[in-house]
Amino acid sequence: MSTKTNIATPLEPERYELGAAAPYRFDLDRRDFFKFLGAGMVVVSVLKPAMIAQESGGGRRRGESLPQEIGAWLHIGEKGKVTVFTGKVEVGQNIRTSLSQAVSEELHVPFQQIELVMGDTQLTPFDMGTFGSRTTPTMNLQLRKVSAAARDTLIGLAATQWNIKPEHLVAEHGKIIDSQNHRSVEYAALVKGQQLSQTLPAEDPLIPAADWKVAGQSAPKVDGRDFVTGRHRYPCDQTLPNMLYGKVLRQPSFNATLSSADTRAAERMGVTVVQDGNFVGVAATTTQAAESAIAAIRAEWKSQPQISNRELFDYLRKDATQGKDPSGDGDHFEAGAVDRALASADHQLKQTYTVSYIAHVPLEPRAALAKWDGDQLTVWTGTQRPFGVRGQLAEAFRIPEDHVRVLMPDTGSAYGGKHTGEAAIEAARLARAAKRPVKVVWTREEEFSWAYFRPAGVMDVASGVRKDGTITAWEFHNYNSGSAGIRTYYEIPNQRIIFHEVDSPLRQGSYRALAATANHFARESHMDELAHAVKMDPLEFRLKNLKNERLRAVFEAAGKQFGWGKTKGSGQGFGMGGGYEKLGNIATFAEVHVDLKSGEVKIVRVVSAFECGAVVNPDGLRNQIEGSNVMGLGGALFEAIEFENGKILNGRLSQYRVPRFSDLPALDTVLLDRKDIPSVGAGECPMIGLAPAIANAIFDASGVRLRALPLVPNGLKIT
Amino acid sequence: MATIHLSINGHTHTVDADPQTSLLTVLREYLDLTGSKYGCGEGQCGACTVLIDGKAQRSCITRVGSVTDKPITTVEGLAAGDHLHPVQQAFLDEDAMQCAYCTSGMIMSAVSLLKKNPSPNEREIVDFMDGNICRCGTYSRIVRAIQKAARTAQPAVAKGASR
């Protein structure tokens, strides 16, 4: 048990990564690279064991010794084309662009000459998955390193060729230039006919952020044209000759077991029918034919009674197996003497906050195309973990992992919701029976019911504060939603913070920002309540209890931009929330308008100040922050999964409201560019301040304190 | 099953399909025009938007039998060769996308809006586009892209939409 305060909680491992297969050893035979890519130069980045441990979820894998592993590699071909291989994947977070920028900057080649091969288990190095905002802090650095090494090698080659000292030469625009002697040579000419290879440890970048030219500037999406013309092929758009369309018979409720299935009518329709344990599916020449065949199957299921969302929060507290693992993993933290400090505080406050299950609703539902060549399986699918899905397929079909290739075309979003390979397994099972390629694309209803949800949770907070606004005691319990962002960054001498695991009634998993959204909602709402209890300004109260300079900076920057302290009109309310997650710092200020008669709540303006170290792509970063705020509006205001007896009751877009154009507030984003601090990711952290900022602003406008997310699914009740 | 003639992007296509089949399914499965996307199957998200007679329609809830011989434009038919439609160009210029799965539907809706109203104000854009969902939340950029397309290239907009 640690006794330190205000140390960042280790990154919470993503839930679904825990089931991932052990890293598969990549063959390091240099000749294979050149056989595959042709002559030229290859530079390989090898991960240090410590880095692998961090990438694969930190402490949960302790005690295991992991093999040295390749992080990424880069090839420069005889025609000057640069091909970069990384196991990371593109789901809209725009890393295909930001990673290309890093390579372009270090290697001094134009953007257009660079191609990224991503998330192909046959071609790219093993990668645990694209999650946890880890691409920018890790992959970006590795690609910088290999690119810089390739550049230095090219300079060395030219120096040898010209018999001149390398320090007289510079790399520029795909060429090595000797300005003294007015000559230059293209990379392509230098590597022609060569088989050069180099292996490097993954380390810090060579070019300091302050000197970045390409990185640090905005760059448009590298293959944007393919997206605006409809040419890009997402997983659901993949086709193969002779392909069939697959459909799966779904259970009538969660955890139902199949008693019997009469598939004779479906078989008479001339389609492939598979019944294998609880799995019943068909493959047909059209989706319509597959749907008709599924409808013709008569199945009997055994179901169990299950709880509904109305009794959820009582259940979560009751089911909690307290102190399951109080010794590690950030699940239990204690400092000072919290019980005594609570009892002796000038003011005490105890409150409970809740968050509902919500759905990711990636606009592209799960999709996969599978084909077998003998016992070799190839699957194109949308997932954040192509190597994890390869492991799931190998396990499902009892074949070695090297018989499975998973390819991940750039996918229609994920938000933490596509860590698993359900559609891949279904398509592969049907393809094996049909002896033809099969594509399975989930309907929206399937995606709502048979994927997984952001965990619901209950947070109990008890605190003590002195009259002067100094917080002296902090006790915080989170039931079920998770431990990401659970620790407080405020300076409090006496603390008890516990995450309680619960057997969740619904299937749950990673969601953008994980539990940091729930924990920040509870903490930052409670901070507001405490500020009011001691009659202090909420910003002043936070700063009084906050030493962390980076967090203070974002709160102050956002407050200044927002105009904190200005006078407000009737129905108008101002509030803030902020914090620290995935190594980034965010402060969010919200202005709301509450119609005090109808209870209608309108989010008028959101100001975010964000600091994630050195900024790589300012416009891409703004896009991520704006997107986090817009997506966050849904979970903050109205998104909630309703369920009863193992069934989702609102699993359609006509029943489950997500943010639309008309929900959009004015978004004002302040970027704090810290060139002296390594860059970290931005896809998650900016979301966490929004819900408490809105809740606090609603209180400011109406005097109504809301402690449950979503805050106003049916408007505000003013009593 | 019936033989159905469709006029898509200026070309005539003949398919053998149940007239009750959705236009989206016919576009994607029968004609391999996969630029139009499935998002919800109930006309709620706009990812499947195409132009029928120049007007934005949700192809997932449009029966193919109801659009025979009506001019249909999909995202694949907007650009003239290498020359992008001004709305497509504006989406690129404003980086109005993240995963871009909604983009083709957004672009088709925007083309339809600008045909009806060549210089919409922000309120009119929001009202018209409210049936299109971008789960990545790039709405403010899409509004800017539509405003830019309206400002810069009105004659070309009218041309594209009338095809």
pLDDT, position B3: 96
For domain B86-162, which architecture applies? Orthogonal Bundle (1.10)
A111: which strand partners? none
| Contacts with B111 from chain A: Cβ below 8 Å | none
Q: How far apart are CA A617 and CA A671, in angstroms?
A: 11
CA distances from A296 to A258, A278, A287, A451 (A): 16, 17, 14, 25
Using the beta-carbon criterion (under 8 Å), do B139 and A661 form an inter-chain contact? Answer: yes
Residue A668 burial by Cβ neighbours in a 10 Å radius (0-12, 13-18, 19+): middle
Question: With a CB-CB cutoff of 8 Å, which residues 387-426 of chain A face chain B?
Answer: 410-413, 415
Tell whether A667 lies on the interface with B, counting CB pairs under 8 A.
yes
Helix (H, G, I), strand (E, B) or coil at A235: helix
Nearest CB partner across the interface for B130, out of A245, A361, A660: A660
Spatial contact of A255 and A304, defined as CB atoms under 8 Å apart: yes
Q: How confident is the model at residue A202 (pLDDT cuts 50, 70, 90)?
A: low
Question: For A465-498, what is each residue's pLDDT tens digit?
Answer: 999 999 999 999 999 999 999 999 999 999 999 9
Nearest CA in chain B to A94: B98
Contact status, residue B44 vs residue B109, Cβ threshold 8 Å: no
Question: Is the CB of A661 less than 8 angstroms away from the CB of B79?
Answer: no
**Phi-psi sector, A80: left (phi>0), alpha (psi -120 to 50), beta:** left
Give the chain B residue nearest A366 (alpha carbons).
Answer: B39
Nearest CA to A585 among A566, A563, A613, A561? A613
pLDDT for residue A679 is more than 80? yes
A288 touches B: beta carbon within 8 Å: yes
Q: Is residue A627 very low, low, confident or very high in pLDDT (cuts 50, 70, 90)? A: very high
- In what order do the strands lie in the sheet containing B71-73? B11-17, B2-8, B71-73, B49-52, B55-58
Which of the four pLDDT bands, split at 50, 70 and 90, describes residue A200? confident
Return the CA Rg of chain A: 27
A413 and B88 within 8 Å at the Cβ level: the answer is no
Res. B163: pLDDT tops 60: no
> What does the pLDDT read at residue B18?
95
Q: How far apart are the first and last CA of chain B?
A: 29
Binding-face residues of A in 117-176 toward B, CB within 8 A: none
Residue A453: CB partners within 8 Å, gap ≥ 6?
A357, A358, A359, A506, A507, A508, A509, A511, A641
**How many Å apart are CA A77 and CA A5, to the nearest integer?**
52
Nearest-neighbour CA in chain B from A167: distance (Å): 40
pLDDT at A27: 44
Confidence at A319, pLDDT banded by 50, 70, 90: confident
Which among B47, B100, B129 has CB closest to A92?
Answer: B100
Chain centroid to CA A226: 24
Q: E strands of A565-633, at which residues?
A: 572-581, 584-594, 601-611
Tell me, what's the pLDDT at A640?
98
Specify which of A77-81, A131-135, B101-105 reaches the highest per-range mean pLDDT. Answer: B101-105
Q: What is the pLDDT of residue A120?
A: 94
Q: Which of B39, B91, B138 sits opposite A444 (nearest CB)?
A: B39
How many angstroms separate the most distant Cα atoms in chain B? 46
Q: What's the confidence (pLDDT) of residue A703?
A: 96
Task: Please report, as a single letter, which amino acid is at residue B157.
Answer: V
Is the model's pLDDT at B34 over the cut of 70? Answer: yes
Whether residue A203 is predicted with pLDDT greater than 60 in this model: the reply is no
Burial of residue B129 (CB within 10 Å: 0-12, 13-18, 19+) is buried
Query: Is pLDDT of A320 > 90?
Result: no
Per-residue confidence (pLDDT) for residue A270, from 0 to 100: 95
C-beta of residue A482 within 8 angstroms of C-beta of residue A323: no
Residue of B nearest to A219 (CA): B95
State the average pLDDT over residues A437-442. Answer: 98
The residue to which tokens 């398509």 are assigned: A427
Q: Domains for chain A: give ranges and CATH numbers.
A: 15-228 (3.30.365.10), 235-302+366-441 (3.30.365.10), 320-358+453-709 (3.30.365.10)
Longest dimension (CA), chain A: 86
Please tell me which residue of chain A has the smallest CA distance to B18: A288
Residue among A369, A661, A684, A687 with most chain B CBs within 10 A, to mutate: A661
Strand partners, A369: A380, A439
Task: List the domain boundaries for chain B.
Answer: 2-77, 86-162
Cα B62 to chain center, whole Å?
Answer: 13
CA distance A482 to A135: 22
A-B CB pairs within 8 A amount to 171
Subunit contact A653:B134, Cβ cutoff 8 A? no
Kindly determine whether residue B99 and residue A92, on different chains, have CB atoms separated by under 8 Å.
Answer: yes
Residue A352 has pLDDT above 60, yes or no: yes
From the candidates B136, B139, B147, B148, which should be mutated to test the interface with A, based on the most A CB atoms within 10 A? B136
- The burial of A115, by beta-carbon neighbours within 10 Å (0-12 exposed, 13-18 middle, 19 or more buried), is given as middle
Number of H helices, E strands in chain B: 6, 5
Residues B84, A228: C-beta atoms closer than 8 Å: yes
Question: What pLDDT does residue A72 have?
Answer: 78
Contact A190, A40 (CB under 8 A): no
CB spacing of A92 vs B134 below 8 angstroms = no
Structure confidence at residue A39 (pLDDT): 87
Contacts of A620 in chain B (CB under 8 A): 95
Question: What is the distance in angstroms between the Cα of B7 and the nearest Cα belonging to chain A?
Answer: 18
Q: Any chain B CB within 8 A of the CB of A654?
A: yes
Helices A140-162, A95-107: inter-axial angle, 10-degree rounding: 30
Pairing of strands A40-47, A195-201: parallel
Helix H, strand E, coil C: the string for A436-478 is: CCEEEECCHHHHHHHCCEECCEEEEEEEEECCCCCEEEEEEEE
From A356, A316, A310, A347, select the one nearest A707 (Cα to Cα): A356
A502-530, pLDDT tens digit by residue? 889 999 999 999 999 999 999 999 999 99
Concatenate the DSSP letters of all residues of A84-149 into one string.
EEES---SSS-HHHHHHHHHHHHHT--GGGEEEEESBTTTSPP---S-TT-IIIIIHHHHHHHHHH
Q: Which residues on neighbouring strands pair with residue A359, listed in sequence order?
A: none
The shortest C-alpha distance from B130 to chain A (Å) reads: 5
Asked if the model's pLDDT at residue A53 lies above 60, the reply is no
pLDDT, residue A32, reads 67
Averaged confidence pLDDT in chain A? 89
Give domain B2-77's CATH architecture. Answer: Roll (3.10)
Tallying the residues shown for chain A, one arrives at 719
Answer for the pair A290, A280: CB distance below 8 angstroms, yes or no: no
Contacts of A629 in chain B (CB under 8 A): 137
CB contact under 8 A, A221 and B37: no
Angle at A559 between CA A553 and CA A560, to 5 degrees: 90
Q: Answer yes or no: are the C-beta atoms of B78 and B35 closer than 8 Å.
A: no
CA distance A633 to chain B (A): 10
Please check the confidence at residue A240 and state whether its pLDDT lies above 50: yes
The mean pLDDT of A314-334, rounded to a whole number, is 69
Asked if A364 and B79 come within 8 Å (Cβ–Cβ), the reply is no
Chain B residues in contact with A363 (beta carbon < 8 A): 37, 39, 45, 47, 99, 101-102, 133-135
CA distance B114 to chain A (A): 17
Residue A411 has pLDDT above 70, yes or no: yes
Residues 209-238 of A with CB under 8 A from B: 218, 220-221, 224-225, 227-234, 236-237
Q: Indicate the residue of B33, B88, B135 with minimum beta-carbon distance to A631.
A: B135
Q: Determine, for residues A653 and B44 on separate chains, whether the beta-carbon distance falls below 8 Å.
A: yes
Percent of chain A residues topping a pLDDT of 70 = 89
pTM: 0.91
CB A690 within 8 A of CB A634: no
pLDDT score of A206 more than 60: no
pLDDT tens digits, A56-80: 333 333 323 333 456 778 899 999 9
Q: Which of B18, B91, B101 sits opposite A412 (nearest CB)?
A: B101
For residue A68, which of A88, A84, A44, A87 has the smallest C-alpha distance? A44
**CA A691 and chain centroid, separation:** 18
A92, A288, A362 member nearest B21 (Cβ): A288
CB atoms within 10 A of CB A197: 18
Mean pLDDT of B8-19: 96
Which residue's entry shows tokens 């590298």?
A222
Smallest Cβ distance to B139: which of A239, A245, A664? A664
Reference A219, options A665, A622, A611; nearest CA is: A622
Q: Which backbone phi and psi does A6 adopt, to 5 degrees?
A: 55, 30
Query: Distance from A439 to chain B by nearest Cα, in Å?
Result: 11
Residue A35, pLDDT score? 77
